[in-house]
Structure 1
Amino acid sequence: MSSSAGPPIFTETSAYSLAFVAIVGVVAYVSSNTLLPKNARWQDRFAFIWLAFDAMIHFTFEGSFLWLSTFGRQVNTSVGPFAELWKEYARADARWGFSDPTVVSLEILTVLGAGPMCCYILKQLAQDDPARHYWIVVLSTAELYGGWMTFCPEWLTGSKYLDTSNILYFWVYLVFMNVIWVLVPLWLMVDSYGHIARSLRASQAAARTKKQ
């Protein structure tokens, strides 16, 4: 009686990938302590850490994917550390390995649009510019739309490219690493909506009082 072992749950590439994500998180946290006032609201500190983390992920991880997936190339036929990283993720979602046009199109917007917008909002946060709340809503809407368009077409076609048989692939790569880009943008939108709504209502009340 013979049996074949399935794919390993955790690999060396997995360890390097998750370690790099952890390092990005630490850099984002340290930068918040350096660039934000000590008395900053915890909400603003959290937003700064997230946006710094978001920007670095967009420019490094997703930027490398975009580079590997354009000009007729693809991850599956590329070499190098970032190619190995994306080959690892492609084991969970095969579309990232052969440069699915929808995924690449979304990553163009993410790297060239969302990444720079994160940096602009970080500058506004450091300067305590309230105009950041508008751009946070714009960015968060784009992040949510990007997540929807990444997975909805796959769900509608039977999820044929997703591998949910491996615990790491499903719970870490597909669930955690994507749900976090849903929950945090939603929270940021709610927080910024509160600021925008209060400001507009206060301005409206002041205008009415002035007319009386």
Structure 2
Amino acid sequence: MESMMETINGTTLGVTSHPFYPLEVEIANYLANEWSMQLLLAIFTAVCATIFFGTKFMVNRAHPHLPTKEKAAIWWFILSGAIHLFFEGTFYPTQASGVRTGYFSLNHTRMGPAQDLFGQLWKEYALSDSRYLTSDPFVLCMETVTAFTWGPLCFVVAAFITTSHPLRHPLQIIVCVGQIYGLILYYATSMFDHYYKEVTYSRPEFLYFWGYYFFMNFIWMVFPGISSVRTIAKAFKALEKVDATLNHANRVAKPNGDTNGHTNGFAKKSN
């Protein structure tokens, strides 16, 4: 009777066995990926390389005189924006309707059985963090903000770099701080559950924990706001020097606080 009830419940809830941690977590209607891990990673790498080198070619052609570090910033923000928009969620092409918006945000309850390219890529990544298959509130909110906010702004920053727009550096810092803040919370919530609740979301294999979970996210900690922070710091330092120079010149020109009075007095004595 108990076995029958488990079968009925399992069928009703659509819960099946899976390779994700914790092993007891329920993933509705889970289906194993049809494509191999090697093929999925090869496709993902090829797409990223195409975006990167395509952007590099167009930037070199359209803006050949930009400094290399500025070109590198454009390459990064275009690639980062594309990953946010297409992989993490805002635009997703389909054969039926052409474009579906909000892939992860709108399909988070149907990730288990997904067999399209992005669905399989998410299931492959979820071996390092099963929260992506369980509609975890934090992950869902973080990815939605990333896709709809930081994704588009990455392209805006890239465009501002090419035109030397005055808002480039402030906006670049905002985007980078937002990405870093989200990443810190991403790591922190996972580690909190691991150490305080003894719940582990990542498989222990090196590829999944250190490759997917740590390295593929830590990239966003290393780059891009540093250059803008330095530029703004240099600008304020230069402005302070200009102010100090002007103040010194005013003190020399106005020893008694009134240049006109001093000059007029001198002129009277001369007469």
| TM-score, L = length of structure 2 | 0.66
Structure 1 position 126, deviation (Å): 1.5
Structure 1 position 96, deviation (Å): 0.6
Task: Name structure 2 gaps, 5 residues minimum.
Answer: 1-18, 21-34, 93-100, 250-271
Superposition map of 1:169-180 within 5 A? 169-180=208-219
Say which of 124, 131, 155 aligns to 1:95.
131
Q: What corresponds to 1:181 in structure 2?
A: 220
* Offset from partner CA, 1:117-151 (integer Å, 9 cap, x none): 10110110121224311111111111111111112
* Offset from partner CA, 1:38-80 (integer Å, 9 cap, x none): 2322221221111111001001110169524437724114342
Task: Work out whether 1:120 is the aligned partner of 2:179.
Answer: no
Q: What corresponds to 1:59 in structure 2?
A: 85
Determine which structure has the larger helix proportion and give its number. 1
Task: Name structure 1 gaps, 5 residues minimum.
Answer: 1-5
Superposition map of 1:25-174 within 5 A? 25-35=49-59, 37-63=63-89, 66-70=102-106, 73-158=109-194, 160-174=199-213
Structure 1 position 177, deviation (Å): 0.5
Moved more, 82-91 or 164-173: 164-173
Give the 4+ runs in structure 1 shifted more than 6 A: none
Q: Residue type of the partner of 1:87?
A: K
* Offset from partner CA, 1:70-107 (integer Å, 9 cap, x none): 37724114342211111111122110111211000001
- Larger Cα Rg: Structure 1 or Structure 2? 2
Distance 2:43 2:188 in 1: 29
Structure 1 position 32, deviation (Å): 3.1
Identical residues among aligned pairs (%): 24
Distance 1:136 1:151 in 2: 23
CA gap 1:53/1:92 in 2 versus in 1, 3 angstroms: same
| TM-score, L = length of structure 1 | 0.83
Q: Could you tell me whether the CA contact under 8 Å between 2:172 and 2:225 is conserved in 1? A: yes
Superposition map of 1:189-204 within 5 A? 189-204=225-240
Distance 2:71 2:183 in 1: 24
Q: CA RMSD in A?
A: 2.5
Moved more, 155-164 or 111-120: 155-164
CA gap 1:78/1:15 in 2 versus in 1, 3 angstroms: closer
